[in-house]
Amino acid sequence: MQSAITLYRQAEGAGFHSAEMFNNLGYCQTLLAPSQWDPKEALDYLGRAIKLNPDLQAAYHNRAQVHLRQAVQLGLTSREAQSHAEQGIEDITEAHKHGTRTGELHQAAALLYSIRLGHGLPADQHTRCVEAGLRHLAMAVRLGQKPDVLRNERTLQPLFKVNPEGFEEALRSARDPGQAAQSPRLLNPVPASAGSAPGH
C-alpha cells in the first residue's frame, strides 16, 4: 500500500490532480497499520477530493471511515472521539445523497451512532441516536452485512447495551439480495469524462 501512496504522490508532484486520485490517497491511508497511517493527511486528501468534486460519494465514505477509525483508536468515550463520530455521521449522510445506499455505508453509520452513545447525551439526542443506530443496523443486514459479524463487533456494544431487544431484532432483518453490500472506495484516478492534464 505504501508503494501505491508513493506513486500517487509522484503523480501529484508532476501536477496531476483529480478528485479520484486524492480520494485514493486518502483511502490508501485507511489501509495502513495504526503505527503507519497519518489520519491528518488522509483527511486533507479526502477534503481536497470533495472540493474538486462535491458529488464524489467515495470521498465522503472514506472520510467517514477515517473519523470512525480515529474514534475507535481514541477510546469511545473521549470528547475527541465523540467529535470524530459526529463528523463521520455528517459524511455518511452526504455519502447517502451522492450514490447507492449500501450495506457497508449503513454499517459505518450504525458504528458511528453507537460511539455517540458512549458519551453523556441529553435524553432527546440519546433517543434519536439509538433509533438511528438501530435503523442503520437493520439496513446493513438487509443489504448484505453479516449478522454474526455485527453481533460480535465491540464498537456496537453501547447500542446493544441500551436496547438489546431492538439490536437483536435489527440483526434478524430479512436480506434484500437485489441490493449492494459494498461501496466502491478506490476509484480510477483518471475519470473517463475528463482526466486533469498536468498543471490543471
77-109: pLDDT as tens digits: 788 999 999 999 999 999 999 999 999 999 999
Mean pLDDT of 60-89: 92
Q: Does residue 102 lie within any of the structural domains? A: yes
pLDDT of residue 198: 42
Q: How far apart are alpha carbons 51 and 34 in whole angstroms?
A: 27
Tell whether the model's pLDDT for residue 141 goes beyond 80.
yes
Tell whether the model's pLDDT for residue 177 goes beyond 80.
no
Total Cβ atoms within 10 A of residue 6: 11
pLDDT of residue 189: 81
Task: Mark whether 90 and 46 lie in a shared domain.
Answer: no
Average pLDDT, the chain: 89
Q: Does residue 21 lie within any of the structural domains? A: yes
Q: Does residue 192 lie within any of the structural domains? A: no
pLDDT in tens, 107-122: 999 999 999 997 778 8
Q: How far apart are alpha carbons 200 and 196 in whole angstroms?
A: 6
pLDDT of residue 4: 76
Task: Mark whether 47 and 122 lie in a shared domain.
Answer: no
Residue whose cell numbers read 449522510 = 93
Q: Does residue 112 lie within any of the structural domains? A: yes
Instruction: Name the domain count of the chain.
Output: 2
Q: Does residue 62 lie within any of the structural domains? A: no
Which domain range does residue 82 map to? 78-183
pLDDT in tens, 11-51: 777 777 899 999 999 999 888 888 888 999 999 999 999 99
Mean pLDDT of 169-176: 91
Tell whether the model's pLDDT for residue 179 goes beyond 70.
no
Q: Does residue 131 lie within any of the structural domains? A: yes
Task: Mark whether 35 and 88 lie in a shared domain.
Answer: no
Q: Does residue 124 lie within any of the structural domains? A: yes
pLDDT of residue 193: 53
Q: Does residue 71 lie within any of the structural domains? A: no
Three cell numbers written together for 145: 452485512
Longest dimension (CA), the chain: 57
Task: Mark whether 82 and 166 lie in a shared domain.
Answer: yes
49 CB-near residues (< 8 Å, 6+ apart) = 19, 20, 22, 23, 26, 56, 59
Task: Mark whether 102 and 162 lie in a shared domain.
Answer: yes
Task: Mark whether 3 and 50 lie in a shared domain.
Answer: yes
Task: Mark whether 97 and 174 lie in a shared domain.
Answer: yes
Task: Give the pLDDT band (50/70/90) at residue 200.
Answer: very low
